[in-house]
């Protein structure tokens, strides 16, 4: 077995945290792992240092984020008007287009060295989606994937009714990951009206609260998501 493999993963719940603060924290962990990997290149097999893995959960105050390949025109109001709806805006380094984060939305940022688990970005994305699909199923909600689109969707076989409940956007470098998923639990969906979510203008957005007709306990969601993610990835939480 590769001496560098380490499936231990530190779970950190950041609570409600400013987007930029969480982004900076992610970046510090991401760079820490990359530095270890760079250092290992000049070391013998017996001197290799293991890389750490982190699983961050949080919620954000109202914020819009645009991926590196996104279209700024998908923000449908002027940036000067963001303060009126108590929202902020960031152009960031993940893939994908524009999305919204806010209270009542569970945001998950795995900052892991994929070489500790597997080296397949497609599998990585699908497992993130699968954790949400399984969590929705825990509440009796059937969800799935739509070919050619990332994220988790409801009514996937009906183009007119299809609606997104979870968005994904990640960044990887040398198999190290950051950014992640945003799962609409009790999120205020009115904020999505100010954007073209993920650049897709013909699909609606939904939440567990809307689908169930009642608010959902966020602590229960965190527990279920944590269980599904650790099982799917083979993580050992510390």
| pLDDT value of residue 91 | 87
**Most confident among 3-7, 37-41, 226-230 (mean pLDDT):** 226-230
Tell me the average pLDDT across 112-118. Answer: 97
The residue extents of the domains of the chain are 8-237
Buried b (16+ CB within 10 A) or exposed e, 81-112: ebeeeebbbeebbbbbbbbbbbebbbbbbbbb
pLDDT in tens, 13-52: 999 999 999 999 999 999 999 999 999 999 988 889 999 9
CATH number of 8-237: 3.30.930.10
Cα–Cα distance, 184 to 167 (Å, whole number): 9
**Considering only CA atoms, which of 50, 84, 68, 97 is closest in space to residue 200?**
97
Contacts 24+ apart (CB under 8 A), 141-149: 141/165, 141/208, 141/211, 141/212, 149/198, 149/200
pLDDT in tens, 157-196: 998 899 999 999 899 999 999 999 999 999 999 999 998 8
| pLDDT value of residue 2 | 44
Tell me the average pLDDT across 208-235. Answer: 98
pLDDT(202) > 70: no
pLDDT(11) > 70: yes
Q: What does the DSSP assignment read for 134-200? A: HHHHHTT---EEETTEEEEEESTT-TTT-EEEEEEEEEEETTEEEEEEEEESS--GGGGGGB-GGG-
pLDDT in tens, 123-158: 999 999 999 999 999 999 999 999 999 999 999 999
Strands 88-91 and 63-66 turn out to be: parallel
> How much is the mean pLDDT over the chain?
93
The distance from CA 53 to its chain's CA centroid, rounded to whole angstroms, is: 15
Tell me the average pLDDT across 61-66. Answer: 94
pLDDT(3) > 60: no
Strand, coil or helix: what is 71?
coil
pLDDT(236) > 70: yes
pLDDT(59) > 50: yes
| pLDDT value of residue 1 | 36
Q: pTM for this structure?
A: 0.93
| pLDDT value of residue 78 | 86
pLDDT in tens, 86-96: 999 998 878 77
In the chain, the percentage of residues whose pLDDT exceeds 90 is: 77
The answer to whether the beta carbons of residues 96 and 198 sit under 8 Å apart is yes
| pLDDT value of residue 199 | 63
* Residues annotated catalytic, as ranges: 198
């Amino acid at each position: 077995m590769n001496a560098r493999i380490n499936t231990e993963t530190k779970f950190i719940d950041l609570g409600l945290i400013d987007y930029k603060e969480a982004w900076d924290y992610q970046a510090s962990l991401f760079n820490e792992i990359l530095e270890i990997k760079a250092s290992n290149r000049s070391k013998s097999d017996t001197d290799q240092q293991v890389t750490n893995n982190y699983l961050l959960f949080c919620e954000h105050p109202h914020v819009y984020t645009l991926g590196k390949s996104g279209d700024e025109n998908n923000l449908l109001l002027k940036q000067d008007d963001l303060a009126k709806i108590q929202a902020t805006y960031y152009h960031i380094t993940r893939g994908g287009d524009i999305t919204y984060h806010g209270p009542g939305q569970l945001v998950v940022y795995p900052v892991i060295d994929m070489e500790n688990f597997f080296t397949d970005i497609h599998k990585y994305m699908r497992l993130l989606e699968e954790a949400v699909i399984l969590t929705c199923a825990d509440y009796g909600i059937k969800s799935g994937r739509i070919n050619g689109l990332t994220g988790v969707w409801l009514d996937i076989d009906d183009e007119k009714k299809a609606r997104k409940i979870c968005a994904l956007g990640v960044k990887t470098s040398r198999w190290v990951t950051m950014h992640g998923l945003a799962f609409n639990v009790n999120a205020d969906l009115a904020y999505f009206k100010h954007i073209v979510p993920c650049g897709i203008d013909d699909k609606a957005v939904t939440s567990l609260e809307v689908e169930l007709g009642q608010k959902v306990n966020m602590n229960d969601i965190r527990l279920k998501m944590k269980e599904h993610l650790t099982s799917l990835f083979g993580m050992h939480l510390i």
